[in-house]
């Protein structure tokens, strides 16, 4: 009983101390007790002693399983690119049917805390910057689930490629989707070719190849073609190309329908 009270006191202490003070307290308490107290404080204070780990339910765990389990997007991390893509499909289907996960396992404060020390997203997305395409919501995912890059017209640049190489080769994303959307202003502006302020017209260079491949004025066709063009640009990367050849990555495309919420895949 005495040791339990001491442990609870230690938890309260670490929850309120600053970093330097906590370091001094750790030296006084001893390594084992200090680590457990710090971990418990991070998990929610004294109440964490009774509630146990939100992942495995064990009181004694105090969150030690988090690095292995909570950094993954799902209780069962996708085994391969096909399964990762299926997770995206299932998530979008839930979104379209207005039936998102009840008590979403990766969209809560526990998940925020669990992923504070690292991430293991199962998918990487290159999306347009349009405010009507919130990627995590569209695929019914949460914190740490998807590695997202966004730029008007979902175009590939050196910086975008570098980011996606990091998301796949380093963080381990198994599927990479280029996601366009209906009524894309960047594609429409490129097709129109009109004057625009600032450096907005710099987007035209990357999008114009797609516009040239479709019938003049067919914005919808150009949007779909632009997704294909950007997919091919990503495949030029030796890093991404290597992951695809090894069967560790699949590069796919899709167009999000602003009116229905559905992502229509592009072969």
Distance between CA atoms of residues 37 and 3, nearest Å: 12
Distances (CA, A) of 265 to 8, 50, 90, 208, 253: 53, 47, 13, 22, 6
83 C-beta neighbours (distance < 10 Å), count: 15
* HEC profile of 194-263: CCCCCCHHHHHHHHHHHHHCCCCCCHHHHHHHHHHHHHHHHCCCHHHHHHHHCCCCEEEEEEECCCCCCE
Annotated binding site: 128, 130, 181, 184
Annotated binding site for Zn(2+): 128, 130, 181, 184
Distance between CA atoms of residues 121 and 96, nearest Å: 22
155 C-beta neighbours (distance < 10 Å), count: 24
* 3-state SS, residue 178: strand
């Amino acid at each position: 009983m005495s040791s339990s009270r001491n442990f609870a006191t230690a938890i309260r202490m670490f929850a309120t101390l600053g970093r330097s003070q906590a370091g001094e307290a750790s030296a006084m308490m001893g390594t084992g007790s200090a680590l457990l107290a710090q971990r418990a404080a991070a998990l929610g204070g004294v109440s964490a002693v009774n509630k146990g780990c939100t992942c495995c339910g064990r009181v004694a765990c105090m969150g030690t399983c988090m690095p292995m389990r909570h950094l993954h997007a799902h209780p069962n991390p996708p085994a391969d690119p096909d399964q990762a893509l299926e997770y995206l499909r299932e998530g979008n289907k839930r979104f379209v049917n207005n039936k998102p996960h009840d008590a979403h396992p990766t969209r809560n404060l526990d998940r925020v805390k669990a992923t504070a020390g690292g991430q293991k997203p199962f998918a990487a997305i290159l999306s347009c910057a349009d405010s009507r395409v919130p990627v995590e919501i569209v695929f019914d995912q949460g914190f740490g689930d998807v590695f997202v890059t966004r730029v008007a017209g979902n175009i590939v640049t050196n910086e975008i490629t570098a980011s996606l190489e990091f998301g796949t080769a380093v963080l381990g994303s198994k599927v990479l989707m280029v996601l366009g959307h209906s009524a894309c202003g960047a594609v429409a502006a490129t097709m129109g070719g009109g004057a625009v302020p600032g450096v907005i017209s710099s987007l035209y260079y990357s999008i114009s190849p797609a516009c040239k491949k479709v019938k003049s004025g067919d914005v919808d066709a150009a949007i779909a073609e632009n997704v294909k063009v950007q997919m091919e640009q990503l495949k030029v990367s030796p890093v991404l190309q290597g992951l695809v050849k090894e069967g560790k990555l699949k590069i796919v495309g899709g167009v999000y329908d602003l009116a229905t919420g559905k992502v229509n895949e592009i072969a």
